[in-house]
A = this chain, B = another copy of it.
Amino acid sequence: MIRFLSQIQRINNFCYSNVIVSNRVVGFSTSGTMFKSAVFNLQEASKDQVQEFLNSFDTVLTDCDGVLWIDNNAISGSADAMNYFRKLGKKIFYVTNNSTKIRSEFASKATQLGFIASQEEILSTAYLVAHYLKGIGFTKKVYLLGSNGIGEELKAVGVRHIGVGPDHVKPDFKSMQPSELDPEVGAVVVGFDEHVSYPKFMKAASYLASEQCLFIATNTDERFPKAGSIVVPGTGTLVRAVETCSERKALVLGKPHNYVRKYLESCGLNPARTLMIGDRCNTDIELGVRCGFQTLLVLSGVTSPKDLEKLRNEKTPPLPDVVLPKLGDLLSLVS
């Protein structure tokens, strides 16, 4: 890990110097990191620059919701772009903070929507939770404020769990007794839960009153990307709620936090030759920046063109290297 980090540090230092010395927003570097934090619209690049960009990475990590699809609809051109990367020989990982499905379900969904994908290429937060608990030799039970996606991944590694599904408020909810708590619970896991309720908050906070009880969250995304004017609250909404009533901070496993970085490190990828694609700056791009990956922000998800304008003006990190309205737009640049 230390070697990995110092490698990232060297890359960052190099690119930073490069930008300063050249005093140009768009710079090339021998490490293959073009357009460093330039929020550069790839559509404005020359054919040669696009080609050099494509040659500068061997591995593509991509977010799913908002980049590849929204709900159950593929975003136009995304599948063709991903399959083009594969045709060019790039290694591919689908890295999603979504915790509602198991890896094989993500692979099926991707395949149905036209993406070539195998279970081994999926890195989801439901899987990360199971991987983490298995890794620390956890033998107690999980109180899961989350969905069956996490439940199934936990089951696959032999970790027991309770809590999935509706838990409606009782008329005398304030009279809940300690006897209603399961003494075997040793961890509270918060993921996306459409059945979130007051009794669930009450139980989570009560388990967490014990300092020995672990507190794990899949991710803290504020919202899901969504077409239209309805806002779809993300897991961060539930994590912040449980953090408030438990008066504790969760260990967050998903993007952009350390655990997913560590996992990617174990996959043996070379940060200097990796591209991270996402629709969120505070998760996808932040992860990319922390790991020393090149980063591509697409505007087909949570980040709007208005947000992008703000990004460009305020220059507040994390800034993506390059930007595209949607991933599929890459194809017209190489055709």
Stoichiometry (number of copies): 2
B-chain residues with CB within 8 Å of residue A174 when the two chains form the complex: 71, 226, 232
Interface residues of A in 239-255 (CB under 8 A from B): 240-247
Chain B: CB-nearest residue to A196:
B198
Flag if A198 contacts B198 (CB, 8 Å).
Answer: no
Flag if B206 contacts A231 (CB, 8 Å).
Answer: yes
Flag if B196 contacts A209 (CB, 8 Å).
Answer: no
Chain B: CB-nearest residue to A238:
B241
Flag if A241 contacts B237 (CB, 8 Å).
Answer: yes
B-chain residues with CB within 8 Å of residue A202 when the two chains form the complex: 230-233
**Separation in Å of the A231 CB from the closest CB of chain B?**
4
A166 in contact (CB, < 8 A): yes
Flag if A245 contacts B230 (CB, 8 Å).
Answer: no
A316 in contact (CB, < 8 A): no
Whether A173 contacts B194 in the complex (CB less than 8 A), given A231-B206, A241-B241, A244-B240, comes out as yes
Chain B: CB-nearest residue to A193:
B198
A236 in contact (CB, < 8 A): yes
A223 in contact (CB, < 8 A): yes
**A 207-236 to B, binary, CB cutoff 8 A, 1 in contact else 0:** 011000000000000110010111111101
Flag if A229 contacts B209 (CB, 8 Å).
Answer: yes
Cβ-neighbour of A231 out of B168, B231, B236, B245 (below 8 A): B245
B-chain residues with CB within 8 Å of residue A237 when the two chains form the complex: 201, 241-242, 244-245
A31 in contact (CB, < 8 A): no
B-chain residues with CB within 8 Å of residue A173 when the two chains form the complex: 194
**A 175-208 to B, binary, CB cutoff 8 A, 1 in contact else 0:** 0111001000000000001111110011001101
A162 in contact (CB, < 8 A): no
Flag if B240 contacts A223 (CB, 8 Å).
Answer: no
A156 in contact (CB, < 8 A): no
Chain B: CB-nearest residue to A175:
B71
**A 249-278 to B, binary, CB cutoff 8 A, 1 in contact else 0:** 000000000000000000000000000000
Give complex CA distance A237, B238 in Å: 9
Give complex CA distance A288, B58 in Å: 61
* Nearest 9 CB-CB pairings of A with B: A233-B245, A205-B231, A241-B241, A237-B245, A201-B233, A240-B244, A240-B240, A237-B244, A206-B231
Give 29 A-B contacts (CB < 8 Å), ordered by A residue.
A166-B169, A174-B232, A176-B230, A177-B230, A178-B229, A181-B230, A194-B198, A201-B233, A201-B237, A202-B230, A202-B231, A202-B233, A205-B231, A206-B231, A209-B229, A222-B245, A222-B247, A223-B247, A231-B245, A231-B246, A233-B241, A236-B244, A236-B245, A237-B242, A237-B245, A238-B241, A240-B241, A240-B243, A241-B244
6 additional A-B pairs beyond A174-B226, A233-B244, beta carbons within 8 Å, are: A174-B232, A178-B229, A202-B231, A222-B244, A231-B245, A236-B244
